[in-house]
């Protein structure tokens, strides 16, 4: 029997994704983002979160998916990746669920246009619900982490 994982469920487009709760620092409503020059298009800039400068990127853009319009449901999920806090803009973040690690399968090579390296797996929830589990350390590769660390200056 696998271990129980607490997962925050969030939406990008029509897909549902999951991040383990222990990697999430906070979920914030959309706020003003300061643009930073010479960054990839999916890096939207930085926010001041309670006195800490946090880089923010749009996960849709990161996965080469069309970026959604900002709505009242849009959220910034602040996660800890390799000792650094980063904000992800997502369309919705509305659920915390428990899933059993046994229900997580290896992802196919490409899921909805997202390369498998960005994914930890696909969790089956109930009969007809799939949850795409993100691999945070791949979503931000090392070169991008170095670039984001330089934004904090």
Domains annotated on the chain, with CATH: 4-148 (2.40.50.180)
Give the residue carrying structure tokens 């915390």. 96
pLDDT computed for residue 145 by the predictor:
59
pLDDT computed for residue 77 by the predictor:
96
Instruction: Average pLDDT across each block of 10 residues of the chain; the chain has 153 residues. List them in order.
Output: 88 90 94 89 90 90 84 94 87 92 78 64 86 80 63 54
CA dist., res. 102 & res. 54, Å (int): 34
pLDDT computed for residue 128 by the predictor:
85
- Which among 90, 116, 81, 121 is positioned nearest to 103, based on CA atoms? 121
**Threshold 0.75, pTM exceeds:** yes
CA dist., res. 105 & res. 126, Å (int): 14
CA dist., res. 122 & res. 87, Å (int): 23
pLDDT computed for residue 129 by the predictor:
87
pLDDT computed for residue 118 by the predictor:
72
């Amino acid at each position: 029997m696998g271990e129980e994982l607490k997962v925050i469920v969030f939406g990008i487009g029509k897909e549902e994704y999951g991040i383990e709760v222990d990697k999430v620092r906070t979920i914030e409503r959309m706020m003003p983002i300061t643009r930073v020059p010479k960054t990839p298009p999916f890096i939207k800039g930085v926010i001041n979160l309670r006195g800490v400068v946090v880089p923010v990127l749009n996960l849709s853009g990161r996965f080469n998916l069309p970026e959604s319009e900002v709505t009242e449901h849009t959220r910034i999920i602040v996660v800890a990746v390799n000792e650094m806090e980063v904000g992800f803009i997502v369309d919705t973040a509305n659920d915390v669920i428990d899933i059993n690690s046994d229900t997580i399968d290896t992802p196919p090579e490409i899921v909805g246009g997202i390369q498998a390296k960005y994914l930890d797996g696909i969790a089956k929830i109930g009969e007809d619900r799939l949850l795409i589990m993100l691999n945070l350390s791949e979503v931000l590769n090392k070169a991008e982490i170095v670039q984001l660390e330089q934004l904090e200056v």
